[in-house]
């Protein structure tokens, strides 16, 4: 490693290892040492994700290879490689990149696999690039690998103003979806999904009459949708079964409303409509799996970022020294798009 690199760096830590947003603080920890398959990157910005909130509270199963520092997506500059580094993409010191990591992005430096780095397009800012990796790779995984999407299918994205759904809505629309719907819990977010993202319909899921299930069935002439991508969990389980078309797929990525199903849930649709319900995650996957999705991001989405077809929508940018406020803002559920922290 270059002689001018420090031995230590600043990073966000959690007092007593778990706790509320106020437990976050910046401390000094040793500089990470990259392994033979990694590069050391100086971070300029990092993205927040809901898993960060859960990990902070001690409610997220962290992969064994992840450092204790939060954060899985970032943008920055390559500063060094270990001798004989595995570097198939030919990255060089000084290259501007963004990437996905198992953890450690809430810091000044990160050691990250060269297989998970992507060259930063000049058309995008550091903040925009920091909001791409986890969000867009998760959307690609949900839509294609798990959901089995092909052009002409219809898709419903719950939590439509969340970063993953914003990405997924754009992917589906660009790839010839018959219809794209969304749900959200605020009228302003529903309006955003239609006017800004081009959804065919966006339904406020807090309204009971008519509910989102009835509205989607009406808009599809009773057929339902082919794919539902859900982050909400228990409260939407029955509705997902009801709204899915024959041979439909539900992709379960989160459980914001809990994991215990209420009494009276009717699962007959699994047989009657031949529904497939599949849960998935990204962070727990091995590097080979994640690397294939990284390649799909580069091939499928990166050109559209460059020409402006795909938008990286940022709701708010915080200085990383205000990370407590950033976490509280995410917890408030006000955001429409990514929340980013920049390192000045």
Distance CA 283, CA 180 (A): 27
pLDDT for res 1: 56
306 contacts: CB under 8 Å, gap ≥ 6: 121, 123, 124
88: helix, strand or coil: coil
pLDDT for res 3: 64
pLDDT for res 332: 95
State pTM to two decimals.
Answer: 0.93
Please, are residues 74 and 63 in contact by the beta-carbon 8 Å criterion?
A: no
pLDDT for res 2: 66
Domains annotated on the chain, with CATH: 8-132+283-342 (3.90.180.10), 135-279 (3.40.50.720)
Counting Cα atoms < 13 Å in the Cβ hemisphere of 51 gives 23
Residues in the chain, total: 344
How many C-beta neighbours within 10 Å does residue 328 have? 15
Model pLDDT for residues 265-296, shown as the tens digit of each residue: 999 999 999 999 999 999 999 999 999 999 99
221: helix, strand or coil: coil
Which residue carries 């992840």 as its tokens?
A: 66
Q: What's 300's DSSP letter? A: I
Counting Cα atoms < 13 Å in the Cβ hemisphere of 291 gives 10
332: helix, strand or coil: coil
* Per-residue pLDDT tens listing for the chain (344 residues): 566 899 999 999 999 999 999 999 999 999 999 999 999 999 999 999 999 999 999 999 899 999 999 999 999 999 999 988 888 889 999 999 999 999 999 999 999 999 999 999 999 999 999 999 999 999 999 999 999 999 999 999 999 999 999 999 999 999 999 999 999 999 999 999 999 999 999 999 999 888 999 999 999 999 999 999 999 999 999 999 999 999 999 999 998 899 999 899 999 999 999 999 999 999 999 999 999 999 999 998 999 999 999 999 999 999 999 999 999 999 999 999 999 999 97
Which DSSP string corresponds to 161-186?
TSHHHHHHHHHHHHTT-S-EEEEESS
Cis peptide bond prior to 236, omega within 30° of 0: no
Model pLDDT for residues 13-61, shown as the tens digit of each residue: 999 999 999 999 999 999 999 999 999 999 999 999 999 999 999 999 8
Q: What's 114's DSSP letter? A: G
35 contacts: CB under 8 Å, gap ≥ 6: 82, 111
């Amino acid at each position: 490693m270059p002689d001018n690199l420090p031995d230590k760096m600043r990073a966000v830590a959690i007092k007593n290892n778990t706790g509320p947003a106020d437990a976050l603080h910046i401390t000094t920890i040793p500089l990470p040492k990259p392994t033979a398959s990694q590069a050391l990157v100086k971070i300029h910005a990092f993205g927040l994700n809901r898993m960060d909130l859960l990990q902070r509270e001690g409610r997220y199963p962290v992969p064994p290879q992840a450092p204790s520092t939060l954060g899985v997506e970032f943008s920055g500059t390559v500063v060094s490689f270990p001798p004989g580094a595995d570097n198939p993409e030919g990255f060089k010191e000084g290259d501007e990149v963004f990437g996905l990591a198992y953890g450690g992005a809430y810091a000044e430096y990160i050691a990250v696999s060269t297989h998970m780095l992507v060259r930063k397009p000049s058309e995008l800012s550091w903040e925009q690039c920091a909001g791409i990796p986890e969000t867009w790779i998760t959307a690609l995984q949900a839509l294609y690998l798990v959901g089995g999407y092909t052009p002409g299918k219809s898709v419903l994205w719950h939590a439509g103003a969340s970063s993953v759904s914003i990405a997924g809505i754009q992917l589906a629309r660009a790839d010839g979806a018959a219809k794209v719907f969304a749900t959200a819990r605020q009228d302003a977010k529903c309006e955003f999904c239609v006017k800004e993202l081009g959804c065919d319909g966006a339904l406020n899921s807090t309204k009971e009459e008519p509910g989102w299930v009835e509205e989607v069935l009406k808009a599809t002439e009773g057929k339902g949708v082919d794919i539902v991508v859900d982050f909400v969990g228990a409260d939407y389980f029955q509705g997902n079964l009801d709204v899915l078309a024959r041979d439909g797929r539900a992709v379960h990525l989160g459980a914001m409303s809990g994991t215990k199903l209420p009494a009276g849930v009717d699962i007959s649709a699994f047989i009657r409509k031949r529904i497939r319900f599949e849960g998935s995650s990204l962070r727990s996957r091995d590097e080979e799996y994640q690397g294939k999705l990284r390649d799909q991001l580069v091939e499928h989405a990166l050109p559209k970022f460059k020409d402006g077809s795909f938008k990286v929508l940022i709701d708010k940018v915080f200085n990383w020294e205000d990370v407590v406020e950033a976490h509280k803002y995410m917890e408030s559920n006000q955001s429409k798009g990514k929340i980013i922290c920049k390192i000045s």
